[in-house]
Structure 1
Amino acid sequence: MIASILEFSVRQRWLVILLSLAACVLGAWSLTRLPIDAVPDVTNNQVQINLVAPALTPLEVEQQATVPVETILAGTPGLESTRSFSRNGFAQITAVFSPATSIYFARQQITERLIEARQMLPPGVEARLGPISTGLGEIYWWAVEYTPGHGPVADGQPGWQRDGSYLTPEGQRLASAFERTVYLRTVQDWIIRPQIRSVPGVAGADAIGGFVKQFLVAPDPAKLGGYRISMAEIAAAIEANNVSRGANFIERNGEGIVVRASGRVGSLEDIAEIVVATRGGVALRVRDLAQVENGRELRTGTASADGEEIVLGTALMLIGGNSRAVAAAVDARIAQIGHALPPGIRTRAVLNRTQLVDATIGTVTKNLAEGALLVVAVLLLLLGNIRAAVITALVIPVAMLLTVTGMVQAHISANLMSLGALDFGLIVDGAVIIVENSLRHIAERQQVLGRRLGREEQLETVIASAREMIRPSVYGQAIIMLVYLPLLTFSGVEGKTFEPMALTVLIALGAAFILSLTFVPALIAIAITGRVREGENAVIRGLKALYAPALRGALRAPLLVAAGGLALFAGAGLLFATLGQEFAPTLDEKNIVMEARRIPSTGITQSQAMQLDVERLVSRFPQVAFVFSRTGTPDLAADPMPPTQQSVI
């Protein structure tokens, strides 16, 4: 069969070249769809479940929420294991599924089980699924902060006022640092996050820092006791006066007019004017019984940058997305959003995955380009025929484009591991022996006949030369491929790390083997014309002149040479024992992550105050461009940390 393919490739050489060009076009198109990342994503197939139980202690959360949910999840199709942790008011359960299970099928199964589990959970416990992302899904972080050094605008215009307060576009004057921090979180939650969620490839937008705004009603116990009014009555009155009623519609003069009564609360003044009860014919309003003011929700995490509190947002990438493309799209959307923010407020990228990916891909591209140029230079020196060297070298870009197509179909991302293992010497190995053998046979037959070969004679010579190299070519490629096959049996983290590399190499070697049987013979039949001389060039003669004396010396003293080889092997073994070992290559993304831990009883406010001191100290180093950190757990709890633990970057 392979012999038939060889003969077809030579006889129909222009058709083979045309098909190869079509494959290159397909590879170039696949290159635009190839996911690009710095390292392979080793996260297993998992679904996170976050349980919020504000009234429960860690032991109660474990007994009344975590264990029942884990029990309900048992037996879910495709489920391999579950793990969880419980702390005060919060628990997270991670359900790990088999790699063959669709993540969307898994989430559907978990959702159905949670519906059943809600009947067993205590009142007030809320269960929700985490985003469809992975441990490497945090591709873009941005800070929402007030513009530093921004001077006051005209009084009455939105922005900083002359008295040091900040006037919002809604007309609210923010006089205290607390109010301004609350407003930053409002901007993040209501302006920025909804737009980031709409970016293709984004699974969710997380937020940490600031305060979630609330309307706070603080009843006076003395007044409640004097008027014999309970807190439940105040809550019921506020709830009853915060609704809209519809009365269908009426027709008048041919028009349908909708009738409704709007009773929605829109400000603190509206809440203060709500009537709670009457005493002696006098209406008692909320303002008569309680203090009404802006408040905040108790937070589980904070964020800061350069010693100042900020709001930190995080874009989480959808599973299987192209981190480079998604991060670039988020960056473009953040820049677009920045033009629509209130005056004096800005967004600033503090961590962009694109920078790491570009640096990694740049390193891989540089290494691959240098390797390709080195192979081409060696081919030119050793083959001694420019056209033959060009034919062999063309296998490299064509094989790479075919490899890209295979990577896209196999859902393999281009990263440091998958591309870094490619060896162009192995890729051109089959093409080299076929080209060299064809040159030799053409030169020998021309010498025997004493003339140039005719077209039919040359085609037959190329077919015979390539057929002669079928067996060594097949054996050589098969042996190399067999070396990588055991890597495909890895599972877990090892499998996710090394399987993409093995598959990429196998695809590249397979593509090169096919090209050596089709593309290379066709090009030889087209390009190798005219007189062909078979002989040793100056490089080969020089190498032989150096090698011959060494070979004769080795043959005269074989025991000494063997002993020297064993000594070198033993020395290499000793050196290998002293080498360091790393599971993955070291990546220098020019960022340093520090983790600060404090005693478990430290409160969130105290922990944040201590963190600001750490940032101010780190910022003094001249090598530090800026420093930011987050303390505690963000909204989506993709990385749930206690209030006593901080990540400083």
Structure 2
Amino acid sequence: MIEHILNFSIRQRWFVVLLGVVFGGLGAWSLTRLPIDAVPDVTNNQVQINAIAPSLSPVEIEKQITFQIETILAGTPSLEYTRSFSRNGFSQVTAVFSDKANIYFARQQVNERLSEIRQALPPGAEVKLGPISTGLGEIYWWSVDYAPPGEDAPVSDGKPGWQSDGSYLTPEGQRLDSDFERSVYLRTVQDWIIRPQMKTVPGIAGADAIGGYVKQYQVIPDPIRMVAYGIMFEDVVKAIEANNVSRSANFIERNGEGIVVRAGGRIEKMSQIGDIVVSTRGGLPIRVKDVARTEIGRELRTGSASMNGREIVLGTALMLIGGNSRTVSAAAAAKLEQIGSTLPPGIRAKTVLNRTQLVDATIHTVAKNLAEGALLVVVILFALLGNIRAALIAAAVIPVAMLLTATGMLYGKISANLMSLGAIDFGLIVDGAVIVTENCLRHLSARAHSEGRNLTLPERLDTVAAAA
């Protein structure tokens, strides 16, 4: 079989050359579409289920939430195993599927099974799936902070931005005097301006944030006044909920036209919360402001972010499973630069970590090592064979093999990274070519010496076929 292949290759050598060029072109095309990363992502095929129930202890979380989720997931197609942990008010279950399972099919199966137990979970428990990403999915970080007044942010009284008294005026007209208020506003900018736009970047599975404070409108009851008026806490809660709803009364038909009737009851200002009527005493209304005070507060947090000793808000972009981290992080950087021009005056968003830089540095190192290795192999081949044409023919195996490898990596969904490219051994690649080329040279030289003349083309081809 090998003999027939060799004879065919020698007789149809131009066809073999053409075939090599075609496969080389296919490999070059594959290189342009090959995912590039710094290191390989060996994370298994998994779906994370996160549940939050602030009022439950770790034991209650395990019994009432974690156990139910793990039980309902049992028997899911392609599921290999589950693992979990339970903490105070938080549960996380990780369902690991086989590598052949489609991640979107797996998430659909998990969602369908979770819908069966949502009603059985404790009141107030929130269950949702984690992003379609992996542990190596954090490809881009950015910071959101205030530019120092007078340097990058001009001070202009009465206009949005820094004021001469050290406060910050928002485009909505709110004056921020304290560090707390400014930290709250930074988180608001991150959650409502930057994060929604970063999610639109192709290849981004989600965007997280840490630092600052999540803004809340808090109603703080005064127990003494409530006892004096005979009002319970639940009365205040019910009154606020009932007065923060828009009502619809269908429509009125008049002269062939339908006029929609509705009452807008949504709260638009914090001062309106205090005017809500909770109850009446002696024909007089008891309002929220009579038994409580309203103020802007914050949600409890478990972490913060700082840079150069100043508190900031840190955003993280998560890449979709199987994405090209180099192109996705570059797109995220371009999007953040575009978003920066729309931020309120005096607020800036800067890149903290960009995976593109790491990938470029890694690929540069690998490419440099591969080029040096290939050049060294050619020099050694020339020294061993003593024939530049033979050395180049043997060395031609290196680019052809690498291009074919790129095609296999593309269709095998293997990224080009430090491990996959760094494992290429030029010595092993050219071993066979060196042996065959050296043997052909020896036989050609011996026959030419025995004939006492230069060999004709048919004689050279026959000699090469016999030597190979």
Task: Give TM-score, length-normalised by structure 1.
Answer: 0.68
Report the Cα distance in structure 1 between the residues aligned to 2:155 and 2:259, rounded to whole angstroms: 45
Q: Find the counterpart in structure 1 of residue 110 from structure 2.
A: 110
Partner of 1:229: 231
Name the CA distance, whole Å, in 1 between partners of 2:239 and 2:269. Answer: 16
State the alpha-carbon separation in 2 of the partners of residues 146 and 254 from structure 1. 56
Aligned residue in 1 for 2:101: 101
Aligned to 1:482: none
Please give the alpha-carbon distance, in whole angstroms, between the structure 2 residues aligned to 1:165 and 1:57: 42
The match for 1:217 is 219
Q: One-letter code of the match for 1:345?
A: I
User: Aligned partner of 1:367: which letter?
Assistant: N
CA distance in structure 2 between the aligned counterparts of 1:379 and 1:152, rounded to whole angstroms: 66
> Shift in Å at residue 373 of structure 1?
0.6
Separation in structure 2 between the aligned mates of residue 11 and residue 244 of structure 1, nearest angstrom: 85
Structure number with the higher helix fraction is 1
Equivalent residue for 1:494? none
* Aligned counterparts, 1:74-223, within 5 A: 74-149=74-149, 150=151, 152-223=154-225
Among 338, 352, 355, the alignment partner of 2:354 is: 352
Partner secondary structure for residue 304 of structure 2: strand
- Please report how far the alpha carbon of residue 80 of structure 1 lies from its aligned counterpart in structure 2 after TM superposition: 2.7
Aligned match of 2:412 in 402, 410, 413? 410
CA-CA distance at 1:442 after TM superposition: 3.1
SS of equivalent residue, structure 1 residue 263: coil
In the alignment, which residue of structure 2 is the partner of 1:571? none
Separation of aligned partners in 1, 2:260 and 2:438? 88
Contact 1:57–1:87 (Cα < 8 Å) also in 2: yes
Contiguous gaps of at least 5 residues in structure 1: 467-649
Structure 2 CA distance for aligned equivalents of residues 72 and 176 of structure 1 = 49
The aligned runs of 1:314-329 (5 Å cut-off) are: 314-329=316-331
CA contact (8 A) 1:208 1:302 kept: yes
For 2:307, the equivalent position in structure 1 comes to 305
Partner of 2:429 in structure 1?
A: 427
What residue identity is the alignment partner of 2:58?
A: P
Alignment of 1:269-284 (within 5 A): 269-284=271-286
Offset of 1:449 from its aligned partner? 4.0
Whole-angstrom distance in 2 between the partners of 1:286 and 1:57: 33
1:388 counterpart residue number: 390
Distance 1:390 1:140 in 2: 43
The structure-2 alpha-carbon separation of the partners of 1:255 and 1:162, relative to structure 1 and needing over 3 Å to count, comes to farther
SS at match of 1:140: strand
For residues 220 and 261 of structure 2, the distance between their equivalents in structure 1, rounded to whole angstroms, comes to 35
Are the counterparts in 2 of residues 272 and 285 from structure 1 also a CA contact under 8 Å? yes
- SS of 2:206's partner is strand
1:303-332 deviation per Cα after TM superposition (whole angstroms, max 9, x unaligned): 222222211111112112222222222222
3-state DSSP of counterpart to 1:139: strand
Q: CA 1:256–1:464 in structure 2 vs 1: closer, same or farther (change >3 Å)? A: farther
Deviation at 1:231, TM superposition (A): 2.9
Shift of 1:457: 3.5
Residue correspondences, number:
466
Shift in Å, 1:260: 3.5
Deviates more, 1:146-155 or 1:86-95: 146-155
Aligned to 1:508: none
Contact preservation (8 Å) 1:277, 1:284:
yes
Q: Extract unaligned runs of 5+ from structure 2.
A: none
Deviation at 1:70, TM superposition (A): 2.1
Distance 1:121 1:251, change over 3 A: closer
Other structure's SS at 1:428 match = helix
What is the CA-CA distance between 1:203 and the residue it aligns to? 1.5
Shift of 1:59: 2.1
Tell me the TM-score normalized by structure 2.
0.92
Correspondence for 1:437 among 425, 439, 448? 439
Provide the rounded CA distance (Å) in 2 between the counterparts of 1:173 and 1:248. Answer: 41
Q: Give the stretch that moved more between structures: 90-99 or 124-133.
A: 90-99
Secondary structure of the 1:32 match is: helix
Give the aligned partner of residue 559 of structure 1. none
**Quick check: 1:152–1:162 contact (8 Å CA) kept in 2?**
no
Distance 1:399 1:252 in 2: 80
Aligned match of 1:293 in 292, 295, 313? 295
Change (3 A) 1:380 1:274: same
- The higher-RCO structure (CA 8 Å, 6+ apart) is 2
Report deviation, 1:177: 0.9
User: What RMSD in Å do the two structures reach over aligned CA positions?
Assistant: 2.3
Q: Assess if the C-alpha contact under 8 Å between 1:55 and 1:89 holds in 2.
A: yes
CA positional deviation for 1:188: 0.9
Aligned to 1:581: none
